[in-house]
Structure 1
Amino acid sequence: MTGTTTDARTYVYDAAHPHAFTRAEVGWVPWLEPFPEDELTERHYNGLVDRPRASSDYFRLLVRDPEILRARTLVDKDIFYNTAEGLPRAERELAAAAASRVNGCVFCASVHARFAAHYSKDPERVDALLDEGISADLGERWNAIVAAAAALTATPLAFDTTHVARLRDAGLDDLEISDVIHGAAFFNWANRLMLSIGRAVAPAGESAP
């Protein structure tokens, strides 16, 4: 980790903040000291679910409560990887990217925009969401998904029957609508967590204007 220690827990980083939403690989640094990797026990690894996540500062912060981290990670995996039925992976990622765009979480938006672009094979439309925000015209199906995700992100009560009707009119069935809700809701929460315990760092080679 880079940075200067101001006390036992808090760090001040000199790395540049990202100055725009992007599909490039954005970094992230925590405000608090992550759990030491060399002190992880099998209980911690069970909480991580995937052992390679031990190298992530973010997950080593959350692993201080391994049981909650495990529950969080299994929900995450089920929402985004269990695609045998329901919404295609690209549109689950689109819902997460839209929520992250509304919340201003540049790190999460970059991750889910990359996935959305990869699985949809349509990076131009994904970039329009990043560049123009939720008002971008992405075609009615994607517009309906983004509008539903944005409403849920603003406040759950803003999501109502008009969003469900629009999603149905765009061709989504009940299971697909449920996937939109789950993808947006999960990252609505996850954005707020990431924004509270750390901050994004500009992609390699990029400096603030």
Structure 2
Amino acid sequence: MTETVIRHPDNHEPVTFTVAMLDWLPWIAPPAETGLTDRQKSSLVDPARSKSAYFRLLARDPDILEARTRTDKDIFFNTATGLPRAERELAAAATSRHNGCIYCASVHARHAITFSKRTDDVKRLLDEGVAADLGERWNAIVAASVALAATPIAFGPAHVARLRAAGLDDAEIVDVINGAAFFNWANRLMLSLGEPATGA
């Protein structure tokens, strides 16, 4: 089956990292919201996601989308133990910054600000990049996330030791790894399927 590639000649794609709300434009047509099958709707897990072109596009393979969504929700919302939500979001934002995914970085930077109240530090990460000095605990989280994003074998015992020295326990370290690894994959998927757009 041949897909028609959608072009967006009028899009002024953002070229700098931002905490602003962005849109995302697919290069392959997603199903219309009104055309989603019952299985596609259930694969979204959260019905509000039917408004998103990105999630409707992924709903073309509902089994994979459901697994992806449940994994995402467990990593970021299951915070009864382990890493605080702000630092899970930091791992995702740092990974997205390293990978050049402006859309994902904006979403997770906003979440990191919401949960940490460290607006200046999060903006510094976006403006200066992953080498920005955010204090040792956050620096350790960013360094571990970036190592995983660069290539998984770049992450090793030295990163774990640095995270432990910064005060993270084993469950929190696993949460850093999960957030960074998930977004290392998610960034590549989003970057290959469409482009960010300046929000309305």
Instruction: Verify same fold: TM over 0.5.
Output: yes
Q: Structure 2: how far apart are the matches of 1:29 and 1:100?
A: 18
Using the TM superposition, name which of 46-55 and 151-160 deviates more: 46-55
Give the structure 2 partner of residue 126 of structure 1. Answer: 122
Deviation at 1:37, TM superposition (A): 1.8
Query: Residues of 2 paired with 1:141 and 1:37: CA distance?
Result: 42
Aligned to 2:146: 150
Structure 1 residue 8 displacement after superposition: 6.4
Which residue of structure 2 lines up, in the alignment, with residue 67 of structure 1? 63
Which residue of structure 1 aligns with residue 113 of structure 2?
Answer: 117
Please state if 1:10 is matched with 2:5.
Answer: yes
Gaps of 5+ in 2: none
Runs of 4+ in 1 over 4 A off after TM superposition: none
Normalised TM-score (structure 2): 0.97
How far, CA to CA, are the matches of 2:57 and 2:169 in structure 1? 38
* Partner SS for 1:134: coil
Q: Structure 2: how far apart are the matches of 1:50 and 1:88? A: 22
**How many residues are aligned here?**
198
- Alignment partners' CA distance in 2, 1:53 and 1:168: 37
Tell me which residue corresponds to 1:76. 72
SS at structure 1 position matched to 2:148: helix
2:18 to 16, 22, 28: 22
Structure 1 gaps of 5+ residues are: 1-6, 205-209
Give the match's secondary structure for 1:188: helix
1:136 to 122, 132, 136: 132
